């Protein structure tokens, strides 16, 4: 899960996702854009767009369809649904309102909210892991004492 937050922390990748989402919602019937169309819409170089699309594809956030020499990319929301489910566990019911994906992605594009969210979630994950390790350590430290009381250690 940490990989997807690293992926979403990059502004260019968020812009690509927003553009593909807008295409799916308001654009072409297939909801796809070619690399050259993405280059034109975002005003980035073709190598930059291709590099970021490759990363998004590796993590399942986009799918690609090849037609001759043209590659057409489409948003795949399944990995984002997993993130949404994980984040929802941290919100109380009053805060866990259903939000439109387009609104969320629009908010992320052009703002550093994705960076902030990624850092906070990574920090939260680190704190949870540290707390779990601390609890594990305390339980492990008590095990020899429990064993001695019950005569397990051979005394």
Question: What are 74-94's pLDDT values in tens digits?
Answer: 999 888 888 888 888 888 655
Nearest to 73 by CA among 31, 22, 42: 31
Output the pLDDT for position 45: 95
Residue 51 tokens, joined: 């590099």
* Cα 149 from Cα 37, distance rounded (Å): 72
- What is the H or E stretch that residue 64 is in? strand 62-67
> Strands 70-75 and 62-67, how do they pair?
antiparallel
> Once rounded to an integer, what is the mean pLDDT over residues 60-73?
93
- Collapsing DSSP to helix, strand or coil, 21 comes out as helix
Instruction: Give the chain's end-to-end CA distance (angstroms, integer).
Output: 47
Query: What strands, in cross-sheet order, belong to the sheet with 70-75?
Result: 32-34, 70-75, 62-67
CATH class of 2-116: mainly alpha
For the chain, give every domain's residue range.
Answer: 2-116
Lowest mean pLDDT segment, chosen from 5-19, 95-109, 119-133:
95-109
Q: How much is the pTM?
A: 0.58
Asked if pLDDT for residue 51 goes beyond 50, the answer is: yes
Residue 133 tokens, joined: 């390790």
Dump pLDDT digits (tens) for 110-145: 555 555 666 666 666 666 666 666 655 554 555 444
Nearest to 8 by CA among 124, 140, 107, 152: 107
* Cα 42 from Cα 102, distance rounded (Å): 18
Contact 16, 49 (CB under 8 A): yes
Asked if pLDDT for residue 33 goes beyond 50, the answer is: yes
Mean pLDDT over all residues of the chain? Answer: 76
């Amino acid at each position: 899960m940490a990989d997807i937050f690293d992926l979403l922390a990059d502004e260019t990748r968020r812009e690509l996702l927003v553009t593909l989402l807008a295409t799916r919602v308001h654009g072409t019937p297939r909801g796809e854009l070619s690399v050259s169309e993405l280059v034109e819409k975002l005003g980035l170089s073709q190598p930059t767009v291709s590099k970021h699309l490759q990363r998004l594809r590796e993590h399942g956030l986009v799918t690609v369809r090849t037609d001759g020499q043209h590659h057409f990319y489409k948003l795949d929301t399944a990995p984002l649904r997993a993130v949404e489910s994980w984040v929802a566990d941290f919100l109380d019911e009053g805060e866990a309102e259903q939000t439109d994906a387009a609104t969320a992605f629009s908010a992320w594009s052009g703002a550093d909210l994705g960076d902030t969210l990624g850092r906070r979630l990574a920090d939260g994950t680190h704190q949870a892991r540290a707390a779990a390790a601390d609890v594990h350590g305390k339980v492990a430290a008590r095990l020899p004492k429990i064993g001695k009381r019950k005569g397990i250690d051979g005394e």
